[in-house]
């Protein structure tokens, strides 16, 4: 029997801890500022983690649960806080960057800004990065393009968790992509943001279902000997399945070509194999809409396109058609208003971390 996955999944058995957004943001900043990261970089990483916490589901693993890992990676020297952002090669519309094991989120934001700068000169800007580290949610850097009237594309390779189609051995990453498209110049104009890993789900989400004592869809992962399963525990040491069967496998392979192979860094089984040198590859693209047409014309065309999609006929039982990024947009509004529901394990971990770093605990 296949189990459908409610994309607005609400936990049944895990008691979430609601915290106010402002205090969570301040705490995350303070914790990261206690490290050797330059304050400006600590703030970028904090903002990215909190934004992911607002957009994503608790099990998806890109939010504030990562604070401890960042703090520890800085303390151990596994992350190079003084890494130069080296422009290896550059033309008017292209750049190749060596990130020298610097913080991936900061590298990603900087690279998207560079891609935007180049798009303003050429219509399009492409920045390929090698020797970077984990950059978090792909939409965070892709969205940097929005305020400049650009469409932003961010992609990255990742550690091997997916087998090639027909295989068992993990040799490809979840290799997420985000494409952020502005629909207007006002802050409340919801952009279209497709932000997706190329696997059906990640191990974080499987772990979450395991804790919630739920089965998982059989399309998510196979066991280590290649059997289908709906038991997240059994699949934890197996491999993740791609989106769209062999097509997702192909997309993941191509993403590694466009990031790791083309950038001159690690690819396939190599990224993340050495914790002290994750060697992650990224690519960032910015399209300057004004190069193609007047921006207001583009927005009108987008509105027409969106109306066509929304007004199309629905399948039985479907109440509304959503746009990419719409669920996350709604989650953000809801969490801003009613508080951020934290995984209780992460809440406790943050509390311990605050005590270890002598940061005042803001929640009662």
Ligand X SMILES: NC(=O)c1ccc[n+]([C@@H]2O[C@H](COP(=O)([O-])OP(=O)(O)OC[C@H]3O[C@@H](n4cnc5c(N)ncnc54)[C@H](O)[C@@H]3O)[C@@H](O)[C@H]2O)c1
Question: Which stretches of the chain bind ligand X, using CB under 6 A?
Answer: 7, 56, 60, 62, 134-139, 156, 158, 174, 176, 178, 193-197, 201-202, 322, 324-325, 327-328
CB of 11 to ligand X, least distance (A): 15
Closest to 74 in 3D by CA, of 112, 23, 24, 31: 31
Which run of H or of E encompasses 185? none
CB of 230 to ligand X, least distance (A): 18
Residue 61 vs 238, nearer CB to ligand X: 61
Residue 26 vs 322, nearer CB to ligand X: 322
Residue 118 vs 325, nearer CB to ligand X: 325
CB of 359 to ligand X, least distance (A): 26
Residue 197 vs 216, nearer CB to ligand X: 197
The single-letter DSSP state of residue 228 is B
Residue 307 has, within 13 A of its CA and on its CB side, a CA count of 6
Residue 71 vs 196, nearer CB to ligand X: 196
Partners of 127 in the β-ladder: 95, 284
User: How far is 296 from 71, CA to CA, in rounded Å?
Assistant: 44
| Residue with smallest beta-carbon separation from ligand X | 137
Partners of 18 in the β-ladder: 341
Q: Is the sign of the CA dihedral 142, 178, 286, 266 positive or negative? A: positive
CB of 231 to ligand X, least distance (A): 20
Q: Please, which residues have CB within 8 angstroms of residue 345's CB and are 6 or more apart in sequence?
A: none
CB of 122 to ligand X, least distance (A): 27
CB of 92 to ligand X, least distance (A): 29
Residue 227 vs 330, nearer CB to ligand X: 330
The count of other CB atoms within 10 Å of the CB of residue 256 is: 26
CB of 193 to ligand X, least distance (A): 6
Exposed/middle/buried for 187, CB within 10 Å: 0-12, 13-18, 19+? exposed
CB of 211 to ligand X, least distance (A): 17
Please state the φ and ψ torsions of residue 91, each to the nearest 5 degrees. -130, -175
The count of other CB atoms within 10 Å of the CB of residue 39 is: 10
Residue 80 vs 154, nearer CB to ligand X: 154
Q: Is the sign of the CA dihedral 164, 168, 172, 177 positive or negative? A: positive
User: How far is 30 from 167, CA to CA, in rounded Å?
Assistant: 45
User: How far is 136 from 63, CA to CA, in rounded Å?
Assistant: 8
CB of 170 to ligand X, least distance (A): 14
Residue 118 vs 335, nearer CB to ligand X: 335
Calculate helix-pair angle for 21-33, 67-76, nearest 10 degrees.
10
Q: Could you tell me where the DSSP H helices lie in 83-170?
A: 104-122, 138-142
Residue 56 vs 118, nearer CB to ligand X: 56
User: How far is 162 from 235, CA to CA, in rounded Å?
Assistant: 12
């Amino acid at each position: 029997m296949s189990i459908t996955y409610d994309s607005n999944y609400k936990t049944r058995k895990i008691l979430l801890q609601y915290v106010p957004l402002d205090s969570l943001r301040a705490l995350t900043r303070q914790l990261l500022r206690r490290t050797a990261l330059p304050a400006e970089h600590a703030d970028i990483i904090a903002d990215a983690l909190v934004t992911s916490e607002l957009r994503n589901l608790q099990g998806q693993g890109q939010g504030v649960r990562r604070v401890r890992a960042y703090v520890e990676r800085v303390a151990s020297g596994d992350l190079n806080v003084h890494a130069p952002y080296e422009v290896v090669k550059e033309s008017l519309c292209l750049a190749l960057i060596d990130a020298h094991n610097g913080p991936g989120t900061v590298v990603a934001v900087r690279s998207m800004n560079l891609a935007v700068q180049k798009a303003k000169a050429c219509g399009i800007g492409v920045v390929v990065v090698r020797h970077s580290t984990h950059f978090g949610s792909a939409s965070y850097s892709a969205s940097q393009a929005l305020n400049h009237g650009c469409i932003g594309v961010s992609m990255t390779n990742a550690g091997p968790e997916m087998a090639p189609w027909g295989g068992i051995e993990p040799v490809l990453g979840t290799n997420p992509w985000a494409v952020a498209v502005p629909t207007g110049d006002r802050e409340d104009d919801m952009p279209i943001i497709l932000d997706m890993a190329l696997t059906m789900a990640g191990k974080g989400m499987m772990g979450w279902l395991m804790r919630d004592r739920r089965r998982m869809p059989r399309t998510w992962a196979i066991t280590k000997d290649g059997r289908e399963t709906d038991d997240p525990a059994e699949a934890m040491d197996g491999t993740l399945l791609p989106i769209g069967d062999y097509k997702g496998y192909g997309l993941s392979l191509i993403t590694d070509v466009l990031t790791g192979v083309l950038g001159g860094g690690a690819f396939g089984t190599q990224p993340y194999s050495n914790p002290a040198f994750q060697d992650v590859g990224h690519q960032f693209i910015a399209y300057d809409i004004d190069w193609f047409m007047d921006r207001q014309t583009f927005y009108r065309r987008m509105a027409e396109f969106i109306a066509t999609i929304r007004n199309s006929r629905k399948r039985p039982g479907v109440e509304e058609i959503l746009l990419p990024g719409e669920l996350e947009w709604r989650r953000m509004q809801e969490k801003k208003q009613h508080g951020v529901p934290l995984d209780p394990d992460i809440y406790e971990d943050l509390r311990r971390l605050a005590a270890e770093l002598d940061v005042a605990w803001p929640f009662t």
